[in-house]
Amino acid sequence: MSVSSVLAVAAEGGGDGTLLGLAMVGGGLALGGGAIGAAIADGLVGSAMIQGVARQPEAAGRLNTTMFLIIGLAEGMYFINLAFMALFVFVTGAA
């Protein structure tokens, strides 16, 4: 199915469920990509925290604060992906 035919089905506002199926696939890809990105970011930040504490144990408090701030930002990006996934699915009439 080409992009122009998908856009034509979307313009008609109907179809045989193809648009809904494509919205579900797009939402799943957005959510999966966001989850993978957040997991990689959390792992890298945790690794850097462990290395930093191993080098300078007295800086553990400052590093801990920075680690949680960065993990929060990475997880925030995941929740933005979750919002876009909900937009893809609910705007097409899945729910």
Answer whether residue 4 is part of any domain: no
Q: What is the CATH number of the domain that holds 49?
A: 1.20.20.10
Number of structural domains (the chain) is 1
**How confident is the model at residue 30, as a pLDDT?**
80
Mean pLDDT of 47-74: 94
Answer whether residue 12 is part of any domain: no
The backbone torsions φ and ψ at residue 16, rounded to the nearest 5 degrees and listed phi first, read -100, 25
**How confident is the model at residue 60, as a pLDDT?**
93
Q: Is the pLDDT of residue 10 over 70?
A: no
Structural domain including 86 reads 20-91
Q: What is the pTM of this model?
A: 0.69
Q: What is d(CA 33, CA 16) in angstroms, rounded to the nearest whole number?
A: 28
